[in-house]
Amino acid sequence: MAFLREAFQAFHAFFWDEKFWLPESVTWKDFENVSDDFYHPVVSDLKYVILCGCLLFAFRKLYERYVAAPIGRCFGIRDTQPRKPPPNPVLEKAFRCHKFPDNERMQSLSKQTDLSTRKVERWFRMRRNQDRPSLMKRFTEAAWRFAFYFSVFIYGVIVLWDKPWFADSSNCWIGYPHHHIPRSIFWYYMIEIGFYSSLMFSQFIDVKRKDFWEMFTHHVATMLLLCFSWSGNFVRVGTLVLVIHDAVDFWMEAAKMAKYLKYQRLCDVLFAIFGVVWFVTRLIIFPMRVIYSTYFELPLLVGYFPAMYMFNAMLCLLLVLHAYWFSLIVKVTYDVLTNTGEEVTDIRSSEEENVSEDENGHAIQPNNNHNHNHNHNHHRVKAVS
């Protein structure tokens, strides 16, 4: 036990080396709280992140079940699951290897099961639909995210409105490291880190998106930035990052809700607002206010230190992801505007495939209009969060 204790202490001393994390004239002793009237953030505060993440996840489940789901039912959304295909061990084994088998594979499976190729194709369509969430699940998920993003954005604006660094980013560094953290900012930070930590795990059970790993990278980078910035009392610039990000997301979730409720025109309007706000906040304000401040104002007012380069690298990673998602928004918006009849919708989640039967139980191929819409999925809007 003594060896493990000494090893842990050595690792802790190495990982939290002042020469790496803090400017030359600053030490960890500067963050000791000796007065109740002035509070420095400390690493041990991050224990509240786990509590906030668990409470938010529990509240989310209650909100989806008792608030969002009844609203969805009032607007005619039913929590129906796709029809299950008949049990078939041979096809099930093949499905685990290839969800979209080619024609040659289909012919082979048809011979092995004594089923027509059309029935095999239909079985695979039905089986793929089993892995896709219902419309109610998509709606309740969007409703929860809208409620959280909108609420935390309003709260962030309220608590930051009278703060000097909200208007002038140089105040993020003036007087460092002795920046007092009021309780309103304390809980703003803890709730945000808790939310992003819960997203990292709930993302594996939520509606699967085509940009799953890009979003996972985004959540990890954001959470690390928040944790490290809290530990080094770079909280002021961290709050700017948070409020800039929160200004965008609820517009997208509102557009999704409108789409699921079949208010397509409202969905298009909300998506247009989302695109504009995204461009202004994440591609103009974020680099010009936050990244400019960390690259130029921080070393000028505080000094250079190794961790600064790590912070700037993660901020630039977020900017690259923002630019990547905005390029998708622009591309799909252009495709929608130049292709008559296309609609703004969410293709990050898998769409349910059309499966119907004739009177004898045989699969009916989708009509030409469906094929046209299916072939133009790339014209539809990639929802980003």
- Residue 287 burial (CB count, 10 A): 17
Element holding 137 (H helix, E strand): helix 135-160
Whether 379 maps to a domain, the answer reads no
Element holding 364 (H helix, E strand): strand 363-364
Same domain membership, residue 161 and residue 60: yes
Q: By CB neighbour count within 10 A (0-12 exposed, 13-18 middle, 19+ buried), where does 231 fall?
A: buried
The stretch 137-159 carries a mean pLDDT of 95
The stretch 73-94 carries a mean pLDDT of 82
Same domain membership, residue 103 and residue 168: no
User: 112-119: which pairs have CB atoms within 8 A and are 24 or more residues apart?
Assistant: 113/88, 118/362, 118/363, 119/362, 119/363
The stretch 129-141 carries a mean pLDDT of 83
Element holding 363 (H helix, E strand): strand 363-364
pLDDT surpassing 70 at residue 153:
yes
Whether 124 maps to a domain, the answer reads yes
Supply the mean pLDDT for the chain: 82
The stretch 64-83 carries a mean pLDDT of 88
Domain C-terminal end among 97, 115, 131: 131
Q: What is the structure's pLDDT at 161?
A: 95
Same domain membership, residue 140 and residue 127: no
Whether 3 maps to a domain, the answer reads no
Same domain membership, residue 250 and residue 167: yes
Half-sphere exposure of 276 (CA within 13 A, CB side): 6
Report the alpha-carbon distance of residue 326 to residue 275 in Å, rounded: 8
Same domain membership, residue 166 and residue 107: no
Indicate the range of 39-43, 63-67, 171-175, 345-349 predicted with least confidence.
345-349
**CATH number of domain containing 93:** 1.10.10.60
Beta-bridged to residue 364, according to DSSP, are: 356
Q: Encode pLDDT of 275-287 as tens digits.
A: 999 999 999 999 9
Same domain membership, residue 139 and residue 111: no
Host domain of residue 225: 40-75+135-338
Angle between helices 212-231 and 306-338 (to 10 degrees): 150
Same domain membership, residue 150 and residue 122: no
One-letter identity of residue 368: N
Whether 214 maps to a domain, the answer reads yes
Whether 1 maps to a domain, the answer reads no
Same domain membership, residue 258 and residue 123: no
Report the alpha-carbon distance of residue 198 to residue 144 in Å, rounded: 13
Band the pLDDT of 263: cuts 50, 70, 90.
very high
Q: What is the structure's pLDDT at 90?
A: 82
Same domain membership, residue 227 and residue 117: no
Beta-bridged to residue 225, according to DSSP, are: none
Q: Encode pLDDT of 123-134 as tens digits.
A: 888 877 776 778
| Count: domains in the chain | 2
Q: Are 259 and 346 in contact (CB under 8 A)?
A: yes
Q: Are 294 and 236 in contact (CB under 8 A)?
A: no
Same domain membership, residue 52 and residue 155: yes
Whether 19 maps to a domain, the answer reads no
Q: What is the structure's pLDDT at 19?
A: 86
Same domain membership, residue 62 and residue 154: yes
Whether 229 maps to a domain, the answer reads yes
Whether 365 maps to a domain, the answer reads no
Same domain membership, residue 56 and residue 103: no
Q: Encode pLDDT of 351-380 as tens digits.
A: 444 444 433 334 334 444 444 433 333 334
Our measurement of the distance from residue 56's CA atom to the centroid of its chain's CA atoms, rounded to an integer in Å, reads 15
Q: What is the structure's pLDDT at 85?
A: 82
Q: Encode pLDDT of 170-227 as tens digits.
A: 999 999 999 999 999 999 999 999 998 888 777 777 766 666 777 778 778 888 889 9
